[in-house]
Amino acid sequence: MQRIVPNVWCQGNAAEAGAFYSAVLPETSSAVTMSYPMDDLPDFQRGYAGRPLIVDVTVGSYQIRLINAGNEFRPTPALSFILNVDPRLVDGGGDQARTRIHSIWDALADGGEVRMPLGAYPFSKLYGWVEDRFGVNWQLMLADPGAERRPMLMPQFLFTGPAAQARQAIDLYTGLLPDSGTGMLVPQPADPDAVMFAEFRLAGQWFSAMDGGTAHDFTFTPGLSLEVNCAGQEEIDALWEVLSAVPEAEQCGWSVDRFGVSWQIVPDNMGELMQKPGAYQRMLDMKKIIIAEL
């Protein structure tokens, strides 16, 4: 089971987004896995009765969850997805891998916003950064066939602001869960305390991070959050203690850490628990999830 699942806040169009990603990304499918209850919804959710609540997108073996909600939040480039296209894993090798990247790029850029044009860079022979029509940011990269293999999909943190934060965040996160640790870390030449690029593992999953400085006008939002599936109340309590630093953001298992990253700390059988009569309504009144009260 994937312990950490990125959640994308969709503005009433999660099913449309899921169908789009299924058509655009390789080895991808999507399915509605949870719907809103028909009755007893709060006023602000009445229009969603019976509609999809969760759409799960599977890219290869990697899961992304789309939340069907309102216009309250939108993803930002502070959390993006690196999509590695490895010529070693593509029939036809390098030429076909390049063709695949161009095809994906054209689809994601249609109605979106190009942040770094697709082309050759010192760190990759073919790379580009694009925000798609749903506000999700993607970094498409042709993997180096001589380098160590990495997953096809890998979330990346971009820490913005005057203070370098990536090292501190990596140290905090990798201390939370088993099978976590740091990998490659490249400091910025002008500021050794700042990270130009780093890789690390959380619960066996690869992530990357870098410091972006003050050149950016965005930061983290609940528009893209990280859901952690916990094995019981004790683990929920332990993670909540570390990852909830903004009391006013606590709601329905959601928290915001001291770096501004949004997390959902939930039991690993949350879907099953939500099937219990009245569980959805009880969850709406919670801050930290209390399993026994669901």
Residue 191 has pLDDT above 90, yes or no: yes
Read off the pLDDT of residues 141-151 as tens digits, 9 standing for 90 and up: 999 988 899 99
Mean pLDDT of 82-107: 94
Domain 226-294 falls in which CATH fold? 2,3-Dihydroxybiphenyl 1,2-Dioxygenase; domain 1 (3.10.180)
Q: Give residue 207's pLDDT.
A: 98
As a whole number, the mean pLDDT across the chain is 96
Residue 120: pLDDT band by 50, 70, 90 thresholds? very high
Q: Report the pLDDT averaged over residues 262-266.
A: 98
Tell me how many degrees the CA angle 229-6-16 measures, rounded to the nearest 5.
Answer: 125
Q: Which CATH architecture has domain 79-213?
A: 2-Layer Sandwich (3.30)
- Reported pTM: 0.96
Hey, where are the domains in the chain?
1-73, 79-213, 226-294
pLDDT in the model for residue 3: 97
Q: Domain spanning 1-73: which superfamily?
A: 2,3-Dihydroxybiphenyl 1,2-Dioxygenase, domain 1 (3.10.180.10)
Question: Which tens digit of pLDDT belongs to each residue from 215-238?
Answer: 999 999 999 999 999 999 999 999
What pLDDT score was predicted for residue 73?
96
**Which of 11-15, 25-29, 74-78, 280-284 is the least confident region?**
280-284
pLDDT level of residue 269 (50, 70, 90 thresholds): very high
One fold for 79-213 and 226-294: no
The predicted structure's pLDDT at residue 104? 98
